[in-house]
Chain A
Amino acid sequence: MFSPSDDPGPSFVEVISRILPEKSALPRLISGPETVSYNSGSLISVPHGTTIAAVRYADGVIMAGDRRATEGNFIAHRRIEKVFAADRHSAVAIAGAAGPAVEMVKLFQVQLEHYEKVEGSVLSLEGKANQLSQMIRANLPMAMQGLAVVPLFAGWDILRRKGRIFTYDITGGRYEEVDYHATGSGGRDAKATIKLGYRDQLDEASAVKLLISALLEASEEDSATGGPDPVRGIYPVIATVSEPGFKRVTDEEIAELTQQVLAEKADRGVAQ
């Protein structure tokens, strides 16, 4: 119980930093930047997540992420997930060092829900985007040591009634994209693919297909991005955020659409 003069307000990060300031398991996301030696070449091997993308479509936004995590030149995991529901009306996808990224998402989810419960109202989409920005900024010292987290944030703006996409740099800089964006090691290839296939007001199936082919192209050029794996039934994680809320596209639908994308590609004739 805090006295009214030092009440932490609706911020969960603030609450937890007062209650457990010394808890070592908590990342620096909470305590904020501190001075560290900027040794960007340090070679600790941690799993990294790779290509993530988001596209606006007729009803909102769609986000996708491949399933591979790498440690140096090893494949660390085949089925890690990089797209998460941040709350009912927003989604966050992560690229970069998997450990701090997943922790950041977890904290971000609690932060949004905590605000909603304490205040009795939901943060605006812009408010959510700014919260994430602050967490990335707090992670800067870790980023300088090679543990960068670069998420992609998208959601349905209840006030403006449209889907919006936000991108970040490692310093917490926040930029709004108009129609689409992709980031991570295969981000360039994914973005180029989306750019060529993008049209205004895409329907859901076409937008999902566009993202599937973007991740497919990225996986062909970037060793750290995993392609679809029909043998094990591993497909990208794809989710839509629209007025009714966050919804994951089922694996069956994605498998089906992946088949279509591959068939169309074969029909066109594959460039060597």
Chain B
Amino acid sequence: MTMPFYVAPEQVMKDRADYARKGIARGRALIGTVYQGGVLLCAENPSKSLHKISEIYDRIAFAGVGKYNEFDQLRVAGVRHADTKGYAYSRDDVDARSLANIYAQYLGQVFTHEMKPMEVEILVAELAPLTQVGGLYHILYDGTVMDESNFSVIGGDSETISERFSSTFKKDWSLKEALRASVAALAGPERKIPVSELEAAVLSESNGRRAFSRLGQTQLDELLA
């Protein structure tokens, strides 16, 4: 029997983290932010059909960056979890916190036990019930969870974008302001992102039970005009 070379666990973890980070850094960034009456998710995405942002449940949305097949697998698992829970108990019992924990557990498990970590970073957004604070759960490739009540930036170059965005962020701003600031932060000072390469969706109180809706080309044009 051949003996594998000894590699220090610190080194293994560092290599995996570097590998995942590199994969994620290649993709474009995504911003999730709370505005008056809703949550906006906005990403740079040239594809019209391979979405980064999707609906999970009545008041929960999912956004992922990194490797498409990996975050899409997480998205589908989230829909299954939420629908099963809502069917077995009640629609009111489905919440983003529990979903974020499941994602964190799974990503953590894959990170430590599998050959290759998942090259994804995800955001679980929840439209707050009237009495409570909703917000955004930001989950990393290794299962680290952070909850943010104002905004969160994931994906490549997220630190720079986050700095740009935080300088313009205002509490209780309108959808229009939030979207303009998001697009400006994603683009940076030297670039302009065409509307056709934007993907945006909201969780909005005005949509009724299923709060999720995508912002189509015309709506984006109107809001950014």
Q: Which residues of A contact B (CB under 8 A)?
A: 1, 12, 15-16, 19-20, 23, 106-107, 110, 113-114, 117-118, 120
Contact = CB atoms under 8 A, between A and B. Distances in A.
Interface in B79-125: 79-80, 83-84, 86-88, 106
Nearest to A116: B55
B51 interface: yes
Contact of B84 (A1, A16, A120): A16
Contact of A1 (B56, B83, B106): B106
Nearest to B110: A1
Contact of B83 (A12, A20, A23): A12
B152 interface: no
Given A1-B106, A12-B83, A110-B83, A118 B88 contact: no
Interface in B171-216: 210
Given A1-B77, A19-B84, A20-B88, A120 B51 contact: yes
A118 B86 contact: no
A85 to B, nearest CB: 10
Contacts of A106: 87
10 contacts: A1-B73, A1-B77, A1-B106, A20-B88, A107-B87, A110-B83, A110-B86, A110-B87, A113-B210, A118-B80
B13 interface: no
Given A1-B73, A114-B80, 15 more contacts: A1-B77, A12-B80, A15-B84, A16-B84, A16-B87, A19-B84, A110-B83, A110-B87, A113-B83, A117-B54, A117-B55, A117-B79, A118-B80, A120-B49, A120-B54
A164 B54 CA distance: 30
Contacts of A110: 83, 86-87
Nearest to A110: B87
